[in-house]
Amino acid sequence: MNVQKIREEIKQLERKIEVLQVRINEIQQACDHHFIGDAYYETCSKCNKVNVLYYYWFTTKSPRKETDMLP
Ligand SMILES: [Zn+2]
């Protein structure tokens, strides 16, 4: 498999990820959420949408993993 073919496959996968992300957004927008969580973040038990509640995480610039948000 040469570089050209690998790059083409990467592009196809990126397009697929976009389609899947749109589908997730559609599901989460249609969901009547049932959030479970604590003071830091809450997760919908139906669609897995995450709301970050602790203000500090909105102000930080570097993206963090979900595990970093645990107290
Ligand atoms: Zn939901």
Q: Annotate 14-29 with DSSP letters as a single string.
A: HHHHHHHHHHHHHHHH
Please give the distance, rounded to the nearest whole angstrom, from the Cα atom of residue 37 to the centre of ligand 1: 13
User: Is residue 35 a contact partner of residue 44, using CB atoms and an 8 Å limit?
Assistant: yes
pLDDT in tens, 10-23: 999 999 999 999 99
At residue 16, the pLDDT reads: 96
Tell me which residues have their CB within 5 A of the ion that is ligand 1. 31, 33, 44, 46-47, 49
pLDDT in tens, 41-50: 899 999 999 9
pLDDT in tens, 23-66: 999 999 999 999 999 878 899 999 999 988 876 555 655 555 55
Please give the distance, rounded to the nearest whole angstrom, from the Cα atom of residue 44 to the centre of ligand 1: 5
